[in-house]
A and B are shown apart, each in its own frame.
Chain A
Amino acid sequence: AQSVTQPDIHITVSEGASLELRCNYSYGATPYLFWYVQSPGQGLQLLLKYFSGDTLVQGIKGFEAEFKRSQSSFNLRKPSVHWSDAAEYFCAVGYTGTASKLTFGTGTRLQVTL
Chain B
Amino acid sequence: EAGVTQSPTHLIKTRGQQATLRCSPISGHTSVYWYQQALGLGLQFLLWYDEGEERNRGNFPPRFSGRQFPNYSSELNVNALELEDSALYLCASRRIGSGGATDTQYFGPGTRLTVL
Chain A positions within 8 Å of B, measured between CB atoms, are: 32, 34, 36, 41-46, 49, 51-52, 90, 92, 94, 96, 98-107
Closest residue of chain B to A6 (Cβ to Cβ) is B42
CB distance from B89 to the nearest CB of A (A): 10
Are A102 and B110 neighbours in the complex by a CB distance under 8 Å?
no
Q: Which of B55, B58, B90 contacts A43 (CB 8 A)?
A: B90
Chosen A-B contacts, 29 in total, with CB atoms closer than 8 Å, are A34-B104, A41-B88, A42-B110, A43-B90, A43-B108, A43-B110, A44-B90, A44-B92, A46-B106, A51-B100, A51-B101, A51-B103, A52-B100, A96-B103, A98-B56, A100-B55, A100-B103, A101-B45, A101-B48, A101-B56, A102-B35, A102-B43, A102-B45, A102-B92, A102-B105, A104-B42, A104-B43, A106-B42, A107-B42
Closest residue of chain A to B90 (Cβ to Cβ) is A43
CB distance from B48 to the nearest CB of A (A): 6
- Interface size for B (C-beta < 8 A) is 28
Instruction: Identify which of residues 26-67 in chain B touch chain A, using a CB-to-CB cut-off of 8 Å.
Output: 31, 33, 35, 42-43, 45, 48, 55-56, 58
Instruction: Identify which of residues 83-103 in chain B touch chain A, using a CB-to-CB cut-off of 8 Å.
Output: 88, 90, 92, 94, 99-101, 103
Chain B positions within 8 Å of A, measured between CB atoms, are: 4, 6, 31, 33, 35, 42-43, 45, 48, 55-56, 58, 88, 90, 92, 94, 99-101, 103-110, 112
CB distance from B3 to the nearest CB of A (A): 9
CA distance A101 to B50 in the complex (A): 12
Q: Which residues does chain B contribute within 8 Å of A34, judged by CB atoms? A: 104
Are A49 and B110 neighbours in the complex by a CB distance under 8 Å?
no
Q: Given contacts A42-B110, A94-B105, could you give 9 more A-B pairs where the C-beta distance is less than 8 Å?
A: A43-B6, A43-B107, A43-B108, A43-B109, A99-B56, A100-B31, A100-B48, A100-B103, A101-B33
Are A90 and B100 neighbours in the complex by a CB distance under 8 Å?
no
Q: Which of A32, A42, A106 contacts B103 (CB 8 A)?
A: A32
Q: Which residues does chain B contribute within 8 Å of A51, judged by CB atoms? A: 99-101, 103
